[in-house]
Amino acid sequence: MNSTIKALLFDVYGTLVDVHSVEEKCNELFKDKGKEISILWHQKQLEYSFLRQMMGQYEPFINITLDSLRYTLKKLNHDYDNDNLQLLLEAYKNLSPYQEVKSVLKQMKHKKLAVISNGSRDMLEPLIQNSGLEPFFDEIISVDDIKQFKPTPASYTYALNVLGVEREEVLFMSSNGWDISGARSFGFKTAWINRENSPIEELNLKPRSIYQDLNGILEWK
Amino acid sequence: MNSTIKALLFDVYGTLVDVHSVEEKCNELFKDKGKEISILWHQKQLEYSFLRQMMGQYEPFINITLDSLRYTLKKLNHDYDNDNLQLLLEAYKNLSPYQEVKSVLKQMKHKKLAVISNGSRDMLEPLIQNSGLEPFFDEIISVDDIKQFKPTPASYTYALNVLGVEREEVLFMSSNGWDISGARSFGFKTAWINRENSPIEELNLKPRSIYQDLNGILEWK
C-alpha cells in the first residue's frame, strides 16, 4: 500500500506529543485543577486560531497560546501572575512525546519525514528539540511562515511546496479530527491516530486509515 | 450615545433564544443526559461551521446541526434513530426566547431592527416565527444567502448591503464572544450580551458595551 507515498507528514500537538502532559505543571501551580485547566486551555487555543483565521486577524500561535491560557485562568477563577504564565509556556515547550513515537519514526526513517504545525517556530522548534524528535525529521514546517493556520488549503499547500512532492504522494498523520478532515479535503492520504477512541467527525471526509496509536503506520513501511 | 446608530443588528442563537432550551427534549429522549448532549451538540455545531468555512467546504447550517448532533450522540454512546434526530431538529426550531427579549425589542421599534444568523432559512425562519419575534424585525438575514459564516468579514459585509447603512451606523448584539470579536474586528459598534458572566475573549477586540442581558441596550434608545 506504500507504492505512491514519498513523504510522511505529521501533525505535532496531540499527535507526536501529549498536550495534556502540562497537567502536572498546572497541578503544581493550581492545586488539583490541572485537568480542567489543560482541557479548556487547549479548547480555547484551537478556537482562537480558528477565529483569527476567519477574521483575518492572524497572530503567531505562541501569542494565542498565552491568550488562551489567560482566558482559561480567568474563566476558572484562578489568580495568576506573569511568572505562572511563563512557567506554563515553558512546560508547553517540554511536552512529552507519546511512548511509541521514537520507535516508529526510527523504523520509517527511509522515507522523507516532516512535521507541519500551527505552532510558531519559537515554540515548535524548542519542543521538537526537547522531545528528542529532531534527528528523525527532514523538515520542520510551521504555518507561521505563511500566516495561514491549518485546516486552510493554503497551509497544506505550503507543506507540498517545502517537500517538493504532489499531494497524492503524502501520507498525513494527525490525532485531531479537524486536521485529518482538512488534510483529506485538500487531497492528502490520511491516517487518523485516534488516541481517544472517538467517533469519526461527521464532515463527509473520512480518513484513509484509522489507528489507535502511531504503531499503525508501520504498515506503510 | 445613540446619535450615529441607525440599525440594531442581533445575533439569534444564544442571544435572542436559548440554545440550551433543547435540553428538555433531549432529556425526554435520552434520560437525564440532556445537559451534556446540549453542551457538546452546540460546541460541535460551532466547530463544524468554523472548519467548513476554513476548508472551503460550505454546508447549510441545518446540515451542520444534524451532523453535530449525530457526532454528539455517537461520542456520548447513545443509540439513536432518524426519528430522534428529527424530533431534536424540530425542537431546535422551537427554542425559547429569553424572557426580556420581546419587551426590549418593543421599546426599540423606532430603530431599524434586524437579525443576522449562521442559520439557514429552513431553520431560522421557523424559529423566528415560532418564537413570536418576527413582527419586530425589518430584515431576517441569513449568511446562507452568500455561503460565508460569521465571523468572516464577508458575512458582516452582507448585512451592511442588505441594511443599506455604513458599518459605524450599526450596533451589533451577540452573547457569543467569538461573534462580538468578529463584528468588532469588522468595524461594528458592539454590545456583548454576557449572559454567562464570562471573561472577555483574549483577542484584543473588546466590545463597546457589556450587558448581562438585553435590557442593557435600552440605553441606546
C-alpha cell at A201: 467527525
Taking alpha carbons only, the member of A94, A27, A89, A30 closest to residue A64 is A89
Whether the pLDDT of residue B171 is over 60: the answer is: yes
* Chains A & B: contacts with CB separation below 8 Å: 82
Of A47, A198, A203, the CB nearest to B178: A47
What tens digit of pLDDT does each residue of B66-104 get?
A: 999 999 999 999 999 999 999 999 999 999 999 999 999
- Structural domains of chain B, ranges and CATH numbers in brackets: 7-16+98-220 (3.40.50.1000), 19-92 (1.10.150.240)
Would you state the pLDDT for residue A197? 96
Is the Cβ pair B151, A70 closer than 8 Å?
A: no
pLDDT of residue B137 exceeding 90, the answer is yes
Mean pLDDT of chain B: 96
pLDDT at B2 over 70: no
Lowest-confidence region among A66-70, A163-167, A187-191, B2-6:
B2-6
Interface check B182 vs A, CB under 8 A: yes
What is the helix (H) or strand (E) element at residue A205, kind and residue range? Answer: none
User: What is the ipTM, given to two decimal places?
Assistant: 0.96
Pairing of β B170-174 and β B7-10: parallel
Of B79, B19, B21, B82, give the one whose Cα is nearest residue B46: B19
Active site residue B18: no
* Secondary structure element (H or E) that encloses residue A9, with its range: strand A7-10
Nearest-by-CA chain A residue for B198: A75
Q: Which residue has the cell 440532556?
A: B34
B221 pLDDT band (50/70/90 cuts)?
A: confident
pLDDT of residue A221: 87
**How much is the average pLDDT of A59-84?**
98
